[in-house]
C-alpha cells in the first residue's frame, strides 16, 4: 500500500520557497494554505509527542465514558478547536461566494496536511466541513470548484477510512495520526492492531517534522483557536443560528450535485 497524498515528500526547500506571510496583522486568507498546514503540523506534533501509550490503552478500555484529564486531553481539545474554527470561518460571511472561498481554502489546508501525513489536522478540518452546520449549505457548496470537490473527497476517504489501522500501518514518519483512530477503534482488536498502538504511535512520536516555526502564523492560529475555549453547547447554538440565517432550512432534505458528484444534504442540524 502506498502512502496517501501526492505531497508526502514535501521538503524544507519547498517550504522555504513559499512567500512569507505579511508582518502586518494577519487575516486567514493572507496565509497560504501550505503555510498554515505546515504550522498546524508542528503544533499537532507537540501535542502528539507527549501522549502516553498507557493513556491510549486506558481510554480504549473505558470507551467514550467521561475521562479525567490526561496526556490525550490537549490533543482532543486542539482537534475540537480546529473543527469549530473551520465551521465559524465558513459560516461568518454573509455571501455564498465568500463562504465557498472559505470552504475551498480549508479544503486546500486539509489536502496539504494529508500530503504531509498530518492526519490529525486533516480530520479535524474535515469534521468542520462535514458538520451539519456547514455541509447543509448546498447553495454555498455549489460554488466550490470541481478540483476542490475532488480534493475534499480524497480527504474524506482518508478521514473516514473503514479500517484506518491498515492505512496507518504503511505510513512512515514524520506523521501525526488522528488520536481518535486509536482511542475509539474497536476494543476487541486483534494482536496486530495492539502492536500498531504500542509500537507504531511511539515510532511517530520520535520523529519530528523538519520545518521551522513561523511565530506570526503560530500566534495567529493560537489567537483564533482561543475563541473556542467555552462550553460547546453555546457554540452549537450560535452555529445553528448562523447556518439557518445564511441558508434557511428547506421543507425536506435535498440531494445536490457538486461538480458531477451527488451528495445528500442532511438538514438535521443536531450533532454530537
Q: Considering only CA atoms, which of 224, 247, 43 is closest in space to residue 135?
A: 247
Kindly tell me the sign of the dihedral angle through the C-alpha atoms of 219, 220, 223, 227: negative
Residue 129: predicted pLDDT: 97
What is the distance between the alpha carbons of residues 236 and 97, in angstroms, rounded to a whole number?
23
Would you write out the chain's pLDDT as a tens digit for each of its 272 residues? 334 444 444 434 444 445 555 556 789 999 999 999 999 999 999 999 999 988 888 887 776 666 789 999 999 999 999 999 999 999 999 999 999 999 999 999 999 999 999 999 999 999 999 999 999 999 999 999 999 999 999 999 887 654 555 556 677 889 998 888 777 665 445 555 666 666 667 778 888 999 999 999 999 999 999 999 877 778 999 999 999 999 997 745 455 555 555 554 443 333 33
Supply 104's cell numbers: 475551498
Degrees, nearest 5: CA angle 238-73-117: 90
**Burial of 252 per CB tally in 10 Å (0-12, 13-18, 19+):** exposed
What pLDDT does residue 182 have?
76
pTM: 0.83
Give the Cα separation of 85 and 220 in Å (integer): 12
Predicted pLDDT of residue 57: 80
pLDDT at residue 228, as a whole number: 92
Q: What is the pLDDT of residue 2?
A: 38
The whole-number pLDDT of residue 181 equals 77
CA distance 103 to 112: 14
The radius of gyration of the chain from alpha carbons, rounded to an integer in Å, stands at 19
CATH for 26-265? 1.10.840.10
Tell me if residue 197 falls in helix, strand or coil.
helix
Q: For position 115, what pLDDT does the model report? A: 93
- The DSSP H or E segment spanning 99 is helix 96-115
Burial class (CB in 10 A: 0-12, 13-18, 19+), 100: buried
Q: End-to-end alpha-carbon separation of the chain, Å? A: 33
Amino acid at each position: 500500500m502506498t502512502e496517501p497524498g501526492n505531497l508526502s515528500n514535501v521538503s524544507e526547500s519547498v517550504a522555504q520557497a513559499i512567500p512569507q506571510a505579511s508582518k502586518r496583522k494577519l487575516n486567514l486568507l493572507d496565509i497560504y494554505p501550505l503555510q498554515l498546514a505546515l504550522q498546524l503540523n508542528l503544533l499537532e506534533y507537540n501535542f502528539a509527542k507527549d501522549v502516553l501509550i498507557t493513556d491510549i490503552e486506558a481510554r480504549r478500555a473505558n470507551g467514550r465514558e467521561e475521562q479525567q484529564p490526561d496526556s490525550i486531553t490537549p490533543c482532543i481539545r486542539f482537534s475540537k478547536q480546529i473543527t469549530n474554527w473551520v465551521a465559524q470561518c465558513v459560516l461568518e460571511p454573509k455571501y455564498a461566494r465568500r463562504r465557498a472561498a472559505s470552504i475551498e481554502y480549508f479544503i486546500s489546508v486539509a489536502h496539504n496536511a494529508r500530503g504531509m501525513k498530518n492526519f490529525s489536522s486533516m480530520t479535524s478540518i474535515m469534521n468542520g466541513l462535514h458538520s451539519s452546520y456547514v455541509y447543509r449549505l448546498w447553495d454555498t457548496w455549489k460554488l466550490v470548484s470541481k478540483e476542490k470537490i475532488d480534493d475534499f473527497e480524497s480527504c474524506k476517504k482518508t478521514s473516514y477510512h473503514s479500517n484506518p489501522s491498515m492505512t496507518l500501518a504503511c505510513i512512515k514518519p514524520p506523521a501525526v495520526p488522528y488520536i481518535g483512530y486509536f482511542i475509539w477503534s474497536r476494543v476487541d482488536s486483534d494482536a496486530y492492531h495492539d502492536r500498531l498502538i504500542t509500537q507504531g504511535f511511539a515510532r511517530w512520536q520520535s520523529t519530528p517534522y523538519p520545518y521551522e516555526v513561523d511565530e506570526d502564523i503560530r500566534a495567529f492560529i493560537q489567537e483564533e483557536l482561543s475563541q473556542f475555549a467555552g462550553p460547546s453547547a453555546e457554540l452549537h447554538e450560535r452555529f445553528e443560528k448562523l447556518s439557518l440565517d445564511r441558508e434557511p432550512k428547506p421543507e425536506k432534505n435535498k440531494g445536490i450535485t457538486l461538480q458531477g458528484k451527488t451528495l445528500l444534504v442532511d438538514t438535521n442540524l443536531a450533532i454530537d
